[in-house]
Homo-oligomer: A and B are copies of this chain.
Amino acid sequence: MVRSLPRLIRLGRQVDPIIIGALSKGSSRRFSSLLSYHFKVGGKRVRATMVILSSLACGGSLEESLKPAAVVEMIHNYSLVMDDIIDHAKLRRGQPTIRVRAGESIALLIAMHYREVIDDIINECKGSDKVRQVAVNTMKEIIDGERLDLLFEQAGRKDPYLVTNRTTVPSILLYLEMIGKKTAALFRASSEIGALTAGASRRATAGFRNYGWNAGLAFQVMDDVLDIFGNATGKQSAKDIIEHKMGNVAVLMALKFLPTKDRVELQHILQAKRVSPKLAEKARRIIGKTPAETASREVAQGFLEKAKAQLIAFGDSQYARGLGELAEEFVKRTY
């Protein structure tokens, strides 16, 4: 049975009523529509899908997997709303961000409220203590990953801590630590929480953890590649370059391959006070001279293979296959 992404996503979407219900509990109607706004504008719920499929693959029931899946999806969106505040983002999923819609201070309060609702939903999960432990540790990692991501910015923010501690030497190792915490940790939590909920053995749970971790690394590496080189629909944003980010796999690969003159020029662009679209285009041309795209795609493919290798031990159930296809979508994706 081949599952297309839309079919996989339909699984994850089942967490929406749980989230909307938890958010509206105990708040005035006027405010609760604002609380749920962020969830109503879309989102693919791939992390929720991963929780559900992992749970089903371990013999769990769909019903018991939905609340743990909602927890993971809430964590993701909590971090998105905070990130949008940190990055002064105007759009998310093609719609105004909550900070634009409601205002900066209210967006911050809404994100803080999300954090408490995460705890409410955790309480309703089977094995809530274990779920909470994974959730809290993961949130700490996400927060630290965001810090490392900010430290990779080569200019822009005036935050004293960033100005003093900025990462100026390209390092793939530090990059992997950053994306591991920022992105892969929550995917690892997704497959782990799914397995835990289904009462999987310690050994099986470790396998699922590894699957999620590697799938998450593949996801973020591809995200970086698409940011610089665009997807099949031809869209390129180079948002990372405009935001002075050296913490992008393609940028780091290019810096490794480039001759001194070009490398210095690329670094100068990232350090520019303002990166115009023209400058960003120039950076992209410099990166394009190198095998950075191929090399980066190979990195993503490598993580994908590692993720799929973990699944072999769990037989050929439709759910394990679904997880394999989900990870493949992370690398194939055009979204």
Expressed in whole angstroms, the Cα–Cα distance for A302 and B334 within the complex equals 65
A 151-193 to B, binary, CB cutoff 8 A, 1 in contact else 0: 0000001111110010000000000000000000000000000
Residue of B nearest to A111 (CB): B112
Q: Is the CB of B86 within 8 A of A160?
A: no
* A160 (CB) vs chain B CBs: closest residue: B103
Q: Are B103 and A120 in contact (CB under 8 A)?
A: no
Tell whether, in the assembled complex, residue A86 and residue B108 are in contact, meaning their CB atoms are under 8 Å apart.
Answer: yes
Contact assessment for B103 and A116 in the assembled complex, using a CB-CB cutoff below 8 Å? no
Q: Is the CB of B108 within 8 A of A82?
A: yes
Q: How large is the interface on A (under 10, 10 to 19, 20 to 34, 35 or more residues)?
A: 35 or more
Partner of A105, one of B27, B112, B132, B150: B150
Q: Which of A135-143, A205-213, A256-264 interfaces with chain B?
A: A135-143
A39 on interface, CB distance cutoff 8 Å: no
CB within 8 Å for A85 and B103 given contacts A26-B140, A136-B119:
no
Partner of A85, one of B108, B147, B165: B108
Q: Which residues of B contact A85 (CB under 8 A)?
A: 108
Cβ of A113 within 8 Å of any chain B Cβ, yes or no, is yes
Given the known A-B contacts A112-B82, A115-B115, are A106 and B143 also in contact in the complex, defined by CB atoms under 8 Å? no
Given A102-B160, A120-B136, is A146 in contact with B109 using a C-beta cutoff of 8 Å?
Answer: yes
Contacts of A119 in B (CB 8 A): 132, 136
CB distance from A113 to the nearest CB of B (A): 5
Decide yes or no whether A272 CB sits under 8 A from chain B: no
Task: Determine the residue in chain B with the shortest Cβ distance to A112.
Answer: B143
Closest Cβ of chain B: how far from A110's Cβ, in Å? 9
Scoring A34, A106, A143, A160 by chain B CB atoms within 10 A of each residue's CB, the highest score goes to: A106
**B103 and A162: CB pair below 8 A?**
yes
Closest to A98 in B: B161
In the complex the two chains form, is B113's CB within 8 Å of A86's CB? no
B116 and A140 form a contact (CB under 8 A): yes
From known contacts A26-B140, A136-B120, A147-B31, infer whether A159 and B102 are also in contact, taking CB-CB under 8 Å.
yes
Cβ of A144 under 8 Å from chain B: yes
User: Can you pick out 22 interface pairs between chain A and chain B where the beta carbons lie within 8 Å of each other?
Assistant: A30-B165, A101-B161, A102-B159, A102-B160, A103-B159, A103-B160, A103-B161, A103-B162, A105-B157, A105-B162, A106-B147, A106-B150, A106-B162, A109-B143, A109-B147, A112-B139, A113-B140, A113-B143, A116-B136, A116-B140, A116-B143, A120-B136
For the complex with contacts A27-B144, A82-B108, 16 further pairs of A-B residues with Cβ separation under 8 Å are A85-B108, A102-B159, A102-B160, A103-B157, A103-B159, A104-B159, A105-B150, A105-B157, A105-B159, A105-B162, A106-B161, A106-B162, A108-B108, A109-B147, A116-B139, A119-B132
